[in-house]
Structure 1
Amino acid sequence: MSIWWSLHLRREAASVPLARRLLIGTMETAGVDPEVSYDLSVALSEACANAVEHGGRTLSGGTPEAYRVTAYLDGEKCRIEVADSGPGITPAHDIRPARPDAEHGRGLCLIRELADHVHIGARSGRGGTVVSFDKMLKWRGDVPPVAV
């Protein structure tokens, strides 16, 4: 089975649940185990929230720059990429656990806990950041994987 989709979204809070719902719907249709779907949807929400908060500037007329979400379900693995056009990530942004009293700063650590492999880096040639993460898929016991 192979399914992929890509969205270009405005950097607005309302875009986060839209991306999450599309991912959950895709996984449900494909027969992915709900626990795996949930983990990936939380990780996607965190990556999107980071893109909304840190991922670019506001264009003339007050429109926020867009960010891109791409999801690939291919065989036994799902890969998700969230790319923005913000200032980019630097070594100073190394992923460290947030202080217990911090209001922010847990998203990237949470993505690392929920996914099997995580890569966070600069977008080549364009500026911005790409957060990509993979997770091995498990299938619902009552439904065989959809052949696409």
Structure 2
Amino acid sequence: MSIWWSLHLRREAASVPLARRLLLGTMETAGVDPDVSYDLSVALSEACANAVEHGGDDAHGGTSEAYRVTAYLDGEKCRIEVADSGPGFPSGRPPTAVRPPRLDAEHGRGLCLIQELADHVHIGNKPGRGGTVVSFDKILKWRKDAPLVAV
């Protein structure tokens, strides 16, 4: 069984729950275990929130810029990719290790959460015109009554 979809979303806070609901609906329909679905939906929400907050060039009307979310459910794995058109990481170097923020910090937990909830995470700059890509995957577990289980 293979399912994939891609969304091109406006860089607005209202787009985050839309992407999350689509992912949860897809996983529920496919028969993915609810705990795995929840973990991936939280990770997706964090990646989308980062794209909304950091993923555009605010000097050129960044609120109207978009970001892209792509999800692949293929066999026993789900891969999610969130790509924005922001400045990317300085000097083209993403963080080699995401460190938890200070306890009193109000921001900075998103990438740490994604790393805790997913099995594999890759963070990097988009080649060419700039922007950041956060991709993560997780091995799927299925409900016993799953209609679309891979055989």
User: TM-score by structure 1 length?
Assistant: 0.92
Q: CA deviation at 1:60?
A: 6.4
The match for 1:97 is: 100
Contact 1:57–1:64, Cα closer than 8 Å, also in 2: no
Q: CA deviation at 1:61?
A: 7.0
Unaligned runs of 5+ in 2: none
Q: CA deviation at 1:143?
A: 2.5
The aligned runs of 1:98-117 (5 Å cut-off) are 98-117=101-120
Unaligned runs of 5+ in 1: none
**Alignment partners' CA distance in 1, 2:111 and 2:140:** 21
Q: CA deviation at 1:64?
A: 1.9
Residues 83-131 of structure 1 deviation map (CA, whole Å, 9 limit, x = unaligned): 0010102447451111001000000000000000000000011200000
- Does 2:124 match 1:121? yes
Q: CA deviation at 1:145?
A: 2.7
**Alignment partners' CA distance in 1, 2:109 and 2:24:** 22
After superposing on structure 2, the runs of 4+ consecutive aligned residues of structure 1 that deviate more than 4 Å are: 58-63
Residues 2-48 of structure 1 deviation map (CA, whole Å, 9 limit, x = unaligned): 00000000000000000000000000000000000000000000000
The alignment partner of 1:133 has SS state of strand
- Does 2:31 match 1:31? yes
**Alignment partners' CA distance in 1, 2:9 and 2:136:** 19
The alignment partner of 1:7 has SS state of strand
User: TM-score by structure 2 length?
Assistant: 0.91
The alignment partner of 1:44 has SS state of helix
Identity %: 84
**Alignment partners' CA distance in 1, 2:38 and 2:24:** 8
RMSD over aligned CA atoms reads 1.8
**Alignment partners' CA distance in 1, 2:72 and 2:87:** 26
